[in-house]
Structure 1
Amino acid sequence: MEGAAATTTTTVFVYGTLKRGFPNHPRLAASGSPFAGVASTAAPVSLVIGPYSVPFLLPAPTPSAGRLVSGELYSASPSALADLDLLEGTHLGVYERRRITVVIDGTSREMEAEAYFANASYAEDLWRRCGGEAAEIGEYTMEHAGRYVPPSGRSPGVSGLMDAVRAFLATAPPDS
């Protein structure tokens, strides 16, 4: 029984800096999580870019909001999943891991995966602060990643990204 538990994997849908060729992919690759395919969300969700050019996925806050978001699937072991949770700051309330239905590219096959969503405590405020529907994107691109600031380049402190999110939310949008 112990051996079976050790081989259990979780399919993870990544949509930002963890994709192949993006800044945090080496960490995912080092965890031994094999690439399992390209997919997109089965239902519209909101993907916005926050502080440090960090992508945030969140449930579409209004019926007209959201887009299908493209990403990649990986098979993560329990230890790889724990490492991803640490990277994504689930213990700090930055992201929360949720189930999501995705569609495998080139097919109509749907499957369940887990994805990192902006924590519900601030997700809708972040969506509004970023510009709402006008700011939503369907794909985090290399152009976005070119502006990405890795954790080593951010404000010091264990909750640096969460502090940046709070500060971002406390400021007025550029056109207000």
Structure 2
Amino acid sequence: MEAASASASAATMVFVYGTLKRGFPNHPRLAAFNCPFAGAASTAAPASLVIGPYSVPFLLPTPTPSSGRLVSGELYSASPSAVADLDLLEGTHLGVYERRRITVVVDGATKEVEAEAYFANASYAEALWLRCGGEAAEIAEYTMEHAGRYVPPSGRSPGVSGLMDAVRGFLATAPPAN
């Protein structure tokens, strides 16, 4: 009984908002680690969700007081090994994403839950928000339409830092004309 409670206490609640959701391209990573689904959820406070290169979603802290939306996603209980795998997928070691604490509300519940989520690294988050179009580009939910344009790591430019290189290239280009 103590082993079960020790492993339960080691679990991390993880809020996913993009390709890791059920039915989306990277969900098998969560399924492979038997991460229990804790419910549909949304951020308790506004955040900025934008779509970057390869149709990859990026969660950002709200850059301005008027920006951001409540972002929809899902909540999972992840073991330490699952979190390590997610860190690898999200490129935390490359500076692509950083795992941060976030407060979410599970649908149908009034209680807020502390979780962790993958945010665009602070070194480029605001520039990405601006390059995507600022408040006009923010979305409340990453959908199957977005996922239909998603390019998995195997289809991206070769190299360890393929997504980060794509982000740098994206930031270096001018935004599309309106």
Question: TM range, normalised to the smaller chain?
Answer: over 0.9
Q: 1:72, 1:132 → 2: CA distance?
A: 24
Q: Give SS of 2:77's match.
A: strand
In structure 1, the partner of 2:114 is 112
Q: Give SS of 1:158's match.
A: coil
Check the 8 A contact 1:6/1:78 in 2, yes or no: no
In structure 2, the partner of 1:157 is 159
Tell me which of 147, 156, 164 is aligned to 2:149: 147
How far does the alpha carbon of each residue in 1:22-80 deviate from its partner, in whole angstroms, 9 at most, with x for none?
00001111011111111100000000000000000000000000000000000000000
Check the 8 A contact 1:39/1:105 in 2, yes or no: yes
In structure 2, the partner of 1:85 is 87
Q: Which TM-score applies when normalising by structure 1?
A: 0.96
Q: Give SS of 2:131's match.
A: helix
Distance 1:6 1:109, change over 3 A: closer
Please state how far the C-alpha of 1:107 moved relative to its aligned partner. Answer: 2.3
Q: 1:6, 1:110 → 2: CA distance?
A: 23
In structure 2, the partner of 1:34 is 36
Unaligned runs of 5+ in 1: none
Unaligned runs of 5+ in 2: none
Tell me which of 115, 118, 124 is aligned to 1:122: 124
Q: Which TM-score applies when normalising by structure 2?
A: 0.95
Q: Give SS of 2:126's match.
A: helix
Q: 2:148, 2:50 → 1: CA distance?
A: 16
Q: 2:43, 2:7 → 1: CA distance?
A: 28
How far does the alpha carbon of each residue in 1:119-159 deviate from its partner, in whole angstroms, 9 at most, with x for none?
00000000000000000000000000000000000000000
User: What one-letter code is carried by the residue in structure 2 that aligns with 1:34?
Assistant: P
Q: In terms of mean alpha carbon deviation, does 163-172 or 103-112 score higher?
A: 103-112
User: What one-letter code is carried by the residue in structure 1 that aligns with 2:47?
Assistant: V
Please state how far the C-alpha of 1:104 moved relative to its aligned partner. Answer: 1.1
Q: 1:5, 1:160 → 2: CA distance?
A: 38
In structure 2, the partner of 1:72 is 74
Q: Give SS of 1:125's match.
A: helix
Aligned length: 175
5 Å-filtered alignment, 1:37-52, equals 37-52=39-54
Percentage of identical aligned residues: 85
Q: 1:5, 1:128 → 2: CA distance?
A: 44
